[in-house]
Structure 1
Amino acid sequence: MTELPKIFDPAEIESRWYAHWESNGLFRPERPDATPFTIVNPPPNVTGSLHIGHALDNTLQDIVIRYERLRGKDALWVVGTDHAGIATQMVVERQLNAKQQKRTDFTRDEFVAKVWEWKAESGGTITSQLRRLGCSMDWANERFTMDEGFSKAVVKTFVELHKRDLLYRDKRLVNWDPHFRSAISDLEVETVETKGGFWRFRYPLADGVTLADGSDHIVVATTRPETMLADMAIAVHPDDERYNAVIGKEILQPITGRRFKIVADEHADPALGTGAVKITPGHDFNDFDVGKRAGFKAGDMLNMFDADANVVQTADGLIPDRFLGLHRFKRDGVDGAREAVVAEMKALGLLVPHVTKDKEGEPVEADFEPRTIQTPFGDRSNVVIEPWLTDQWYVDAEKLAVAPMQAVRDGAIEIVPKTWEKTFFNWMENIQPWCVSRQLWWGHQIPAWFDEDGNSYVAESEAEAQALAGNKVLTRDPDVLDTWFSSALWPFGTLGWPEQSDKLSRHYPNDLLISGFDILFFWDARMAMQGMEFMGEAPWKKLYLHGLVRAADGQKMSKSKGNVVDPLGLIDKFGADALRFFMAAMESQGRDVKMDEKRVEGYRNFATKLWNAARFLQSNGVTASTSHEAPAAALPVNRWIIAETVATVQAIDTAMTELRFDAAANAIYHFVWDQFCDWYIELTKGAMDDETRAVAGWAFDQILVMLHPFMPFITEELWHLTGARPNELIVAQWPQALAAVDSEAQAEIDWLIRLVSAMRTARTELNVPPGAKLPVIVRDASEETHRRLDRQGVALARLGRVESLTFGEPPAGGAAQIVVDEATFILPLVGVIDIAAEKTRLAKALAAAEKERDSLGGRLSNPSFVEKAKPEAVAKAREDHAEKAAEAERLKAALERLG
């Protein structure tokens, strides 16, 4: 047994133990006959680095996998990274730009080769950071969504979905990123409040038609004047009496002269703007739906922008040449289509100015009414996303969603917390076709070929496509697949599918998926769709959704706010164990985690307390236990700690079954800090006989095993420093909650703890000098209390600083009285403290605490404060009020003790 160093150094321990575990294959011990337990990690982007959300997500997964490994299961945690199409292509293009090169300077194959080079050199950043967090993943079988085997699964899936009429090509609106010249997913769109406006334009009614008020035009309000060149209708609400007479009549596009109809649609809000809305189905998602309801086919909808968001001629050829080539917005000081359209409408006298009044009350005209607009931006390009009508590949998500919804209803998939079921069903029941094609070079190239007439041939290889096409010349689709398409195969593609194997049949379905709620639709639901379609059963039995990690004040973390917390910085400062324990203790189902560095520091202190407890035990001859079962014990204190150990094992097992990470963490925390370190060690000081050494060694071993999933590094280190072991802690045996619980011993030691705690509290509150020993007089004690005092008298005298213990009536004069169960314990204080002065001090302190309590209570009962103050200010006031109320109660009790 090696003597423990005085100082606990997390950094040195963590690097050493992680390397040992990984190099010895301890994350994946050979257990072919054991019950399998499988989880897959949400594959982080290969371009990524560890952020605080990853730290939470992966800590929870590691706690589960270490727990199941300790329980003897064949625990597999599948690890890998996502090729992250747009993000990775952007990184490599930036590197090229730094050398005055661009992607198009190379062939597609040359560029893809450069991406692979980047991946080999820099693509392992996040995986090394996951190791720093302590993630015990199956690194020996690490997967990548672009590796050969996984790519085979992706191609197979695409072709099979097409064969089953679940994947097709269609012309629809997509989120188009003009910077990347590609469609992007909803998850890659950030909605940002920007300064915009409402422009009002007069659209002339055709053929001499007028409104009921005699007007020969309709005023249309719009936030996007530039798209009016592709207008195809004007919509009004069917119940809007202002426009009833002209529904179905024709109106003129003011600049192009295009004739189109006024349609009735509930999308038009009579209370918004003028109640009349221009419909541009090729450039607005709502307008696209209105256009379909009005009978427009997608192929007939007008698109007035190219891939760079520059104006191009529409199918009807009516856009004047002076607009062609203009960018949609003003750029580099050059007016765009928006400015040109507004200027022309103004010159035609068809712009209705927005009129306000200046300080003197005089009318002031402006071209538009200022408005705050919810504007979609690409999260990586930071350019405004353009709804764009284009041909893309789509998956029939509506049909694929049926089986997962039924699985949740039947209980084949259990969603935890259950409250997320409603959100799941709401999204799945209203699911739209899933656009899976992207206009990039990096990714899985779509296995489809086109002939010169535009017909497509979907096949797993070019030879198979050519066989389908006959002698026609084919060109492969240049697009790649959305990364969510490939990651949707993660639960079975990582296990070797489409090849059949023992590994696949043994570990599919997975047992659990842990994920942030923010990817419930983009990843979780899509895995459920693909898993049930291709494997015939749900990909996992249970889906656990955790919240976000927020800043201490509850705000969402963002670089712009400057409140982002770097988990690696916290690991450097406090150690990975402390950060992991914080994440577990704060993870309460259904709630976001508020970042609190002080609490991380507190768990670092917890690790130090454990370390010091080990040093104390070692100095008293306590070594590693030789038995998995609890030793025989006669002393109540030893029978008590055995019972408390068993109760803690049971509490953790229950919490882990229910995925209550906070409950599991708090159970082991309070057992270690309160029962073992604060009381058991105190109660056994100076009384370390052979029985106590055996029990202490056993209990401490159980602590190390129970704490290991949460704090793997310090527990493994102490496991080896406290005695000779047959194997590492990571593959040790989880405690069995089988020892007989001695309720009598539990009750006796709990009684002693309550009595000592009450004595210490009274002494502190009454300013009794710490070194003073006091006589204690006991009154109204039962026979059981007499027996307990006989057995625990020595411990009580030492821990409670008791000079003598007698039974009967107290002497005259001031004394503190403590009631524990039926008995009253009296501590005479005459000559120990100035009783009159102490009463005065306590009364003064009580009055101050009550005054502050009542002042805070008044603020909280004021509706204007609660409703108007910042939420954090109200929360702080409630906290302070509770603190002052508790303080007042303590002072009142102390004053009453003095009589």
Structure 2
Amino acid sequence: MRFHPERWTKVYMDWMERIRDWNISRQLWWGHRIPVWYCACGEMVAGKAAPETCPRCGGAALTQDPDVLDTWFSSALWPFATLGWPRETEDLRYFYPTSALVTARDIIFLWVARMVMFGLEFRGEVPFRDVYINPTVLNIEGRRMSKTMGTGMDPLLLVDRYGADSLRFALINRCTGEQDLRFSEKMVEDTRNFANKIWNAARFVRMNLDQAPAPATPPARSALGLADRWIVSRFARCALEVTHSLERFEFREVCQRLYDFVWSEFCDWYVEMAKQDLREPPAPAHAAVTRATLGWTLAEAMKLLHPIMPSLTEEIWQALPHEGRTIMRAPWPDGMERWIDAEAESQITLVIDVIRAIRGMRADLGLAPGETVKVELFAPERPQATLEEAERYIASLTRTFGLAIHPETAPRPRGGLSSLCGPVEITMAVDSREAAQAMRARLQKQLAAVTRDLATLEGRLRTAEFIEKAPAEVVEADQRRRDELSTRRATLERYMGGLGS
């Protein structure tokens, strides 16, 4: 038998090794009557049924003990008594032992240990193989939730405001293996935003799907484009990691991996790339491949998310082309190893890094979201080929016009801004002296603000009293912010140098 988190094994074994006699007698109205009878001669008889006469004196005036067995004595019978024991029923043979027990730490000794004792005594084997110990839910200040103390939250109100799935995900996402779980309504609100993100992505997929039945697998690898190969590979890794974490009862890891895949990789990147492929497919048949990949990936991702967000995932799965009556009976994603494509992952990682770098340059320059710029990329042969294949994604996701991709040996333009992103050099053109002056003015304004904030932070961090009295996490946050501002100041100064005087 294994405890999850594993540290509870020591607590359990420590109690078992120091176990004392158990007082099983209780004076309660309800319970299992103690099966012991007393005779006036002093004889005490225990049995499954009431004895007709005293085995010692032969008398018939026997009185049963008025007390009942301790509650946990009867609760210890639960794993097999509910299945028909002591009769050898079909349910008992099929369901005992079960696989897992989920409970709280305060009844490890009262219930878990006694179920194990009784299971071994009456059935010859433990009643379960895994025991998951839930954390105690506290409020955000670390106090126990209590109506009388005013520290509790009504889960039904949270469900009304944000939905049951949002509450479930928020709670499970906080199961880090720690003893206690600090919780606030803000966590449920954040998860509601995640649910909305999934719903909007699903609506986009449904609007673009043909009426063909959902494929059991993605389209053939030879038909997939670069972005399609990437998202299928990323889903394959996600499915493997989620399955592994579920088997190890690592529920926070499950939530985090699904959140990262669905929100970032699928919604933020693949859906945006798919929009471009649907608007301007690189080949006549590619739009159908993109639709099939969108539908398959979303449907399979809903299967992984279903144990945590059952209502939302069922609703979306039913709206997609599918086979079967319910997602609960749909096959779990299996055999995913064959879809892993390390080359496609490496290529799209480069593309995403370049897109982020260009977006960062735009932000540094203070460009409006709708303002387009001319960008040129210089890269070695293999990265150049990747960038050329993904040119339509880069141009649309960075608001650039006339995107040009050159070999790394090509001459650089004069009077522009440049930045390095791995093996790729990014240059942003400045077409005229007037444009350069306007850009320089924006940079000077940003540089002044960054320099002012940096001076304030450095002054605070040089103060011994602040370092000694401030919480460690506050000091660390200020130190990280100082490093970020220093890097940003150096970047702005480099851009200004590239613009000339």
Shorter-chain TM-score above 0.5: yes
- Secondary structure in structure 2 of the residue aligned to 1:540: coil
What is the aligned partner in structure 2 of residue 835 from structure 1? 440
* Distance change in 2, residues 1:468/1:568 (3 Å): farther
* Distance change in 2, residues 1:434/1:796 (3 Å): same
Correspondent of 1:495 among 80, 83, 94:
83
Correspondent of 2:182 among 594, 597, 605:
594
Cα distance in 2 for partners of 1:481, 1:875 equals 53
What is the aligned partner in structure 1 of residue 239 from structure 2? 649
- 1:771 maps to 2:370: yes
What does 1:588-667 correspond to in 2, within 5 Å?
588-622=176-210, 626-632=214-220, 633-667=223-257
- Secondary structure in structure 2 of the residue aligned to 1:626: coil
Cα distance in 2 for partners of 1:707, 1:801 equals 33
| Percent of aligned pairs with the same amino acid | 35
Cα distance in 2 for partners of 1:465, 1:751 equals 89
Cα distance in 2 for partners of 1:566, 1:789 equals 52
Cα distance in 2 for partners of 1:420, 1:858 equals 44
Cα distance in 1 for partners of 2:143, 2:475 equals 19
Q: Is the 8 A contact 1:860 1:878 kept in 2?
A: no
What is the aligned partner in structure 1 of residue 127 from structure 2? 539
Cα distance in 2 for partners of 1:500, 1:555 equals 47
Q: 1:810: Cα distance to partner?
A: 4.5
Cα distance in 2 for partners of 1:890, 1:465 equals 93
Cα distance in 2 for partners of 1:661, 1:624 equals 35
- 1:441 maps to 2:40: no
- Secondary structure in structure 2 of the residue aligned to 1:723: coil
- Cα deviation per residue 1:161-204 (whole Å; 9 max; x = unaligned)? xxxxxxxxxxxxxxxxxxxxxxxxxxxxxxxxxxxxxxxxxxxx
What is the aligned partner in structure 1 of residue 264 from structure 2? 674
What is the aligned partner in structure 2 of residue 459 from structure 1? 47
Correspondent of 1:855 among 457, 460, 464:
460
- Secondary structure in structure 1 of the residue aligned to 2:33: coil
What is the aligned partner in structure 2 of residue 892 from structure 1? 489
Q: Which moved more, 1:799-808 or 1:683-692?
A: 799-808
Task: Tell me the TM-score normalised to structure 1 length.
Answer: 0.50
Paired AA for residue 640 in structure 1:
W
How many matched pairs? 477
Q: Is the 8 A contact 1:766 1:894 kept in 2?
A: no
- 1:694 maps to 2:292: yes
Runs of 5+ consecutive residues of structure 1 not aligned to the other structure: 1-412, 867-873
Cα distance in 2 for partners of 1:526, 1:848 equals 62
Paired AA for residue 848 in structure 1:
D
* Distance change in 2, residues 1:498/1:680 (3 Å): same
Correspondent of 2:474 among 871, 877, 892:
877
- Secondary structure in structure 1 of the residue aligned to 2:172: helix
Cα distance in 2 for partners of 1:464, 1:858 equals 89
Task: Tell me the TM-score normalised to structure 2 length.
Answer: 0.88
* Distance change in 2, residues 1:680/1:564 (3 Å): same
Q: Is the 8 A contact 2:467 2:475 kept in 1?
A: no
What is the aligned partner in structure 2 of residue 823 from structure 1? 424
Paired AA for residue 128 in structure 2:
W
Q: 1:424: Cα distance to partner?
A: 1.8
- 1:716 maps to 2:317: no
Q: 1:790: Cα distance to partner?
A: 1.9
* Distance change in 2, residues 1:846/1:515 (3 Å): farther
- 1:566 maps to 2:165: no
Structure 1 or 2: more strand by fraction? 1
Cα distance in 2 for partners of 1:663, 1:886 equals 29
Cα distance in 1 for partners of 2:305, 2:53 equals 57
What does 1:22-33 correspond to in 2, within 5 Å?
none
Cα distance in 2 for partners of 1:846, 1:552 equals 36
Q: 1:836: Cα distance to partner?
A: 3.9
What does 1:157-556 correspond to in 2, within 5 Å?
413-452=1-40, 455-463=43-51, 470-556=58-144
Cα distance in 2 for partners of 1:541, 1:858 equals 56
Q: Is the 8 A contact 1:625 1:698 kept in 2?
A: no
- Cα deviation per residue 1:529-576 (whole Å; 9 max; x = unaligned)? 211222222221122223211111222323443211222221121111
Q: Is the 8 A contact 1:624 1:698 kept in 2?
A: no
Q: Is the 8 A contact 2:233 2:340 kept in 1?
A: yes
- Cα deviation per residue 1:825-873 (whole Å; 9 max; x = unaligned)? 012356174314423423432441453366268579745x36xxxxxxx
- Cα deviation per residue 1:50-69 (whole Å; 9 max; x = unaligned)? xxxxxxxxxxxxxxxxxxxx
Q: Is the 8 A contact 1:441 1:478 kept in 2?
A: no
* Distance change in 2, residues 1:581/1:890 (3 Å): farther
Look at both structures and tell me which one has the larger radius of gyration over its CA atoms: 1
- Cα deviation per residue 1:107-154 (whole Å; 9 max; x = unaligned)? xxxxxxxxxxxxxxxxxxxxxxxxxxxxxxxxxxxxxxxxxxxxxxxx
* Distance change in 2, residues 1:742/1:451 (3 Å): same
Q: Is the 8 A contact 2:53 2:60 kept in 1?
A: no
CA RMSD of aligned residues (A): 2.6
* Distance change in 2, residues 1:465/1:694 (3 Å): farther
Structure 1 or 2: more helix by fraction? 2
Paired AA for residue 758 in structure 1:
A
Paired AA for residue 29 in structure 2:
W
Q: 1:664: Cα distance to partner?
A: 1.0
* Distance change in 2, residues 1:790/1:486 (3 Å): same
- Cα deviation per residue 1:299-326 (whole Å; 9 max; x = unaligned)? xxxxxxxxxxxxxxxxxxxxxxxxxxxx
What is the aligned partner in structure 2 of residue 377 from structure 1? none
What is the aligned partner in structure 2 of residue 727 from structure 1? 325
Q: Is the 8 A contact 2:364 2:443 kept in 1?
A: no
Paired AA for residue 680 in structure 1:
Y
- Secondary structure in structure 1 of the residue aligned to 2:129: strand
Cα distance in 2 for partners of 1:544, 1:650 equals 22
- Cα deviation per residue 1:588-644 (whole Å; 9 max; x = unaligned)? 123422102112111111111111111111222356753322221331111111111
Q: 1:885: Cα distance to partner?
A: 3.9
Runs of 5+ consecutive residues of structure 2 not aligned to the other structure: 279-286
Cα distance in 1 for partners of 2:45, 2:384 equals 92
Cα distance in 2 for partners of 1:883, 1:573 equals 36
Higher relative contact order (CA 8 A, sep 6+): 1
Q: Is the 8 A contact 2:460 2:466 kept in 1?
A: no
Paired AA for residue 827 in structure 1:
M
Paired AA for residue 581 in structure 1:
F
- Secondary structure in structure 2 of the residue aligned to 1:582: helix
Q: Is the 8 A contact 1:628 1:735 kept in 2?
A: no
Q: 1:693: Cα distance to partner?
A: 0.8
- Secondary structure in structure 2 of the residue aligned to 1:687: helix
- 1:845 maps to 2:450: yes
- Cα deviation per residue 1:493-536 (whole Å; 9 max; x = unaligned)? 22222111332233222212222222211111111121122222
* Distance change in 2, residues 1:713/1:700 (3 Å): same
Q: Which moved more, 1:710-719 or 1:789-798?
A: 789-798
Cα distance in 1 for partners of 2:57, 2:477 equals 77
Cα distance in 2 for partners of 1:529, 1:708 equals 35
- Cα deviation per residue 1:801-825 (whole Å; 9 max; x = unaligned)? 111234445444462x332221210
What is the aligned partner in structure 2 of residue 357 from structure 1? none
Cα distance in 2 for partners of 1:857, 1:417 equals 42
* Distance change in 2, residues 1:469/1:883 (3 Å): farther
Paired AA for residue 249 in structure 2:
L
What does 1:781-792 correspond to in 2, within 5 Å?
781-792=379-390
Paired AA for residue 687 in structure 1:
D
Cα distance in 1 for partners of 2:472, 2:54 equals 68
- Secondary structure in structure 2 of the residue aligned to 1:515: strand
- Secondary structure in structure 2 of the residue aligned to 1:434: coil
Cα distance in 2 for partners of 1:624, 1:731 equals 21
Q: Is the 8 A contact 2:230 2:348 kept in 1?
A: yes
Q: 1:883: Cα distance to partner?
A: 6.1
Cα distance in 1 for partners of 2:142, 2:186 equals 16
